């Protein structure tokens, strides 16, 4: 299958998923609420958008996003590029932050929202910051395992660096205790975005240093 057809196929699957999600998201949220016993929406608006969801509801829906990413990316990366480790790494970009969010769902809950800012530890925001901060390093490390010429130690080092960088934005409550201002505010969100940028470039420089150590 040509690259153009692969892209069209991926876009088609994404559009189909978006249509199905838009039509049945109310039923999905009711089902998740019934199974987990956790409130998924605010004000009973099950068919609403992101703002109508509770923070916990966003987390509970995230695995469906990860699943569609895994399905769409399998053929282009694992089959066409013949890079199964790279495929695993790409999926890990998204699965790892979801896993941390799920394990810390009590932290990333509506109860974290401050009354005077209307902002809490937003799981979607921290999820995206995590992907940006270390996802590239994580994916690169896994992809290196596909090529025998790359030192295994370098690959695993890159994976570790990437996962650490990804984990940091997922602990905003701990960061909140280290800074002299409130993270759950507009200025706090800006700080978290800057931190993610710093983490990204830090992983980039660490990669260069590791390549020097392993003489690549």
The mean pLDDT of 161-179, rounded to a whole number, is 97
pTM summary value:
0.89
Number of domains in the chain: 1
> Which structural domain range is residue 100 located in?
3-213
**Residues 18-58: tens digit of each pLDDT:** 777 677 778 888 898 999 899 998 888 787 777 889 999 99
Bridge partner list, 41: 53
In b/e form, how buried is each residue of 17-56, taking b as 16+ CB within 10 angstroms?
beeeeeeebeebbeebbeeeeeebbeeeebeeeeebbbbb
The mean pLDDT of 87-102, rounded to a whole number, is 96
**Residues 117-150: tens digit of each pLDDT:** 999 999 999 999 999 999 999 999 999 999 988 8
């Amino acid at each position: 299958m040509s690259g153009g057809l692969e892209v069209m196929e991926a876009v088609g699957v994404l559009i189909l998923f978006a249509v199905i999600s838009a039509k049945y998201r109310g039923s999905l949220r009711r089902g998740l609420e019934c199974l987990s016993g956790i409130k998924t929406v605010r004000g009973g608006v099950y068919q609403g958008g992101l703002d109508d969801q509770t923070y916990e509801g966003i987390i509970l829906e995230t695995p469906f996003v990860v699943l569609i990413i895994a399905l769409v990316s399998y053929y282009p990366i694992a089959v066409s590029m013949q890079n199964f480790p790279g495929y695993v790494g790409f999926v890990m970009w998204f699965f790892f932050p979801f896993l941390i969010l799920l394990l810390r769902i009590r932290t990333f809950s509506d109860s974290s929202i401050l009354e005077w800012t209307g902002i809490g530890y937003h799981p979607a925001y921290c999820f995206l910051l995590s992907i940006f901060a270390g996802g590239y390093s994580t994916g690169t490390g896994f992809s290196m395992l596909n090529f025998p010429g790359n030192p295994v130690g370098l690959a695993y080092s890159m994976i570790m660096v990437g996962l650490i960088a990804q984990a940091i934005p997922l602990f905003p409550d701990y960061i909140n205790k280290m800074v002299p201002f409130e993270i759950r505010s507009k200025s706090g969100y800006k700080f978290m975005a800057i931190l993610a940028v710093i983490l990204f470039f830090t992983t980039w420089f660490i990669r260069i240093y590791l390549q020097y150590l392993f003489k690549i």
